[in-house]
Amino acid sequence: MRKAVRHLIFILAPVVVAFAVLPLIYSNHLLLFNFVVFLVLAQGINVIYGFTGYLPFGYVGFFGAGAYGFSLLVLHAHAHPLPALAAGAVAALLLGVILTPLLRLEGAYFAISTLAASEAVVQIISNPNLTEITQGPYGIRLSGVYAPRLAYGMAVAVLAFTIVVVIYLRNSRFGLALQAIRENPISAGMAGVNVVRARVIAWLLSALIAGLIGAVYAWYISVFYPETVFDLGMSIFAIVFALFGGTATIIGPLGGVAILYGVYNGIGIAAPQYFQLIYGALIMLLVLFLPNGILSLLKRRGFNVP
């Protein structure tokens, strides 16, 4: 556990301090907020894919469920944002529980089925017949709760919680059990691991993480359409960022977001006309030469990457 304390001090603390200070010296607060959102989502992917081996293409479904859980409580119960955040978390957890049977599937089948599930949820939410409840395709307009600074602070708090979860997984026997499941679920069972329970816990943890940040996202932007918070692109980004850095580590997904999302925004500003070309080429090169992420360069040299 001494290692875990080191990780808290040298990884968690600097990240939190950086995102607490950055708004004071950098004026594009929306970009900072988006960074935090993707850091959280990439770490959520890390929990369920990096540690446990299940790649959910439809991961954004939990994000959207969180956003709508938050918004519906604010809209209909005029709730304070804080209890509404809890509603977002609960909505994502509920969706996670409903989708638990998908964990019987493996590999591409699991990935595609989560994608289908996420699409199903957005179709239900944007159904015009449900306009009175969900606002249907017309989207959400929250009034009276807009507080971007507070919402940003909450996003950083969710990021801190997420990093603590990953630090725990990296340093605990439970995290090791999840990795055993990722490597070989049958052998994990023969090592005494309750495979069904452990992977459900990991699944719900990752759902909770995405649900919380989805709720904060809804709070921060206050006006959005169903497609905004169920955008498949968010899943893909989170997955690519996590893979780029290196999964089943604490710093991999953090580095992945910092570099790739940084480059993404850099190209978007500096050379928008070549944006797709450069970004696509970058990801192709990554898949070809560093399929296990940039941290694999260090791992190959025998470094024990946190």
Residues at the contact surface with another protein, assessed by CB under 8 A: 173, 176-177, 179-180, 182-184, 186-196
Strands in 50-147 per DSSP E: 140-141
Judged by beta carbon, residue 190 or residue 284, the one nearer another protein is 190
- List own/partner pairs for 298-302 with CB under 8 A and 24 or more apart: 299/246
Name the token pair of 298.
């260090």
- Least separation in angstroms between residue 53's CB and another protein is 10
Judged by beta carbon, residue 28 or residue 184, the one nearer another protein is 184
CB 166 within 8 A of CB 159: no
**Rounded Cα gap, residues 250 and 252, in angstroms:** 6
Judged by beta carbon, residue 29 or residue 299, the one nearer another protein is 299
- Least separation in angstroms between residue 2's CB and another protein is 17
Judged by beta carbon, residue 21 or residue 190, the one nearer another protein is 190
- Least separation in angstroms between residue 99's CB and another protein is 22
- Phi and psi of 80, rounded to 5°? -70, 145
Burial class (CB in 10 A: 0-12, 13-18, 19+), 292: middle
- Least separation in angstroms between residue 230's CB and another protein is 33
Judged by beta carbon, residue 272 or residue 302, the one nearer another protein is 302
- Least separation in angstroms between residue 179's CB and another protein is 6
Strands in the chain per DSSP E: 140-141, 223-224
Could you identify the residue written with the tokens 């999302």? 261
